[in-house]
Amino acid sequence: MINRCRGSAAILLNRARLVALLLLLCGVATAQNRSVAITFDDLPGMGGLACRGDAVLDVNNRLLAQLVANEVPSIGFVNEGRGCPQLVEDVLNLWMDAGMELGNHTATHPDINDLTVADYLKDIVDGEKITRRLIQERGMGSLRYFRHPFLHTGDSAEKKSAVEAFLRERGYTIAPVTIDNDEWLFARAYARALAGDASPETLRRIETTYVEWLDSVVAHFETWSVEVVGYEIAQVLLLHANEINAATFGDIAALFVRRGYRFITLEEALRDPGYAQPDPYVGEWGISWLHRWARGKGLEVQWEPDAPEWIADFGN
Ligand SMILES: [Zn+2]
């Protein structure tokens, strides 16, 4: 298709105009029109280690400094019940001071697959008290996004639709993820390496492997998006507020810039018409919205690259 377009157009046009025409006619994804919203789950971070205040604040400070330096307008999804209330508030203030948005990720990070609808909804409401108050105090709009823990959205149609209706009524939009990934395995390996006083070389090796692997994951979802929705959707990446991202986010931002991405807010990403498609998936898994739409269209899911085995096994 591309060759055919190029052959016929080349007769008439010089190279620059040919490129422009090809993009228009052939729908070729370009490095210039890629965009991504980078989102972080599990604030205050560090797996909710109760009151390790200094370490948690340090990770968030380092991460936010790199988000600001790279002009990444991010959003942090909060588990208010996973940390001392004062620590949660301190971390949320850091994020808001840096101009970032906040979203609800439940209070205690439960798995909807294990809960009744009533218990899950209670955790949602319990998870919005501090965040909502801080947003109101600062006059920073409203609490408008909710992300399901583990990206589990309901293992029965009844459960899923009951939670969706509740969220809608409460003013929430469910925050989808297109670039889902095994980042947690790298985060676990890195945390274990730090706790075990691993050598600087080992830490660097984990960091380098992580960024290279993430690059391959992004590449996968670029191609997969074209297959599922017909073009490269405004992507939404899921990461976590943790040590490995605090150490590597500058390199992660650089990989997106190298691939031609613009950093956008979640709000802007969700204006992409691709997100108007309903999420048809009912089941136990937490999977990318591209995989959900693919299943709805009867396509065989093309899974993202796994983390290398040595990372998955690190410290076992
Ligand atoms: Zn989470």
Give the Cα separation of 147 and 268 in Å (integer): 17
CA of 13 to the centre of ligand 1 (A): 51
Q: Does 25 reside within a domain?
A: no
The boundaries of the domain holding residue 87 are 34-312
Q: Does 7 reside within a domain?
A: no
Give the Cα separation of 183 and 244 in Å (integer): 9
CA of 149 to the centre of ligand 1 (A): 4
Kindly report the pTM of this predicted structure: 0.89
Q: Does 162 reside within a domain?
A: yes
CA of 29 to the centre of ligand 1 (A): 31
Q: Does 17 reside within a domain?
A: no
Q: Does 3 reside within a domain?
A: no
Residue segments in the chain with a per-residue pLDDT below the cut of 70 = 1-32, 47-52
Q: Give the tens place of pLDDT for each residue, 199-254.
A: 999 999 999 999 999 999 999 999 999 999 999 999 999 999 999 999 999 999 99
Give the rounded distance of the alpha carbon of 236 from its chain centre: 5
Q: Give the tens place of pLDDT for each residue, 258-273.
A: 999 999 999 999 999 9
Q: Closest Cα to residue 144, out of 155, 135, 156, 157?
A: 135
Q: Does 140 reside within a domain?
A: yes
CA of 293 to the centre of ligand 1 (A): 22
CA of 20 to the centre of ligand 1 (A): 42
CA of 109 to the centre of ligand 1 (A): 6
Q: Does 18 reside within a domain?
A: no
Strand, coil or helix: 186: helix
Q: Does 5 reside within a domain?
A: no
CA of 306 to the centre of ligand 1 (A): 19
Based on the structure, what is the number of domains in the chain?
Answer: 1
Give the Cα separation of 38 and 248 in Å (integer): 14
At 43, which CATH number?
Answer: 3.20.20.370
CA of 27 to the centre of ligand 1 (A): 35
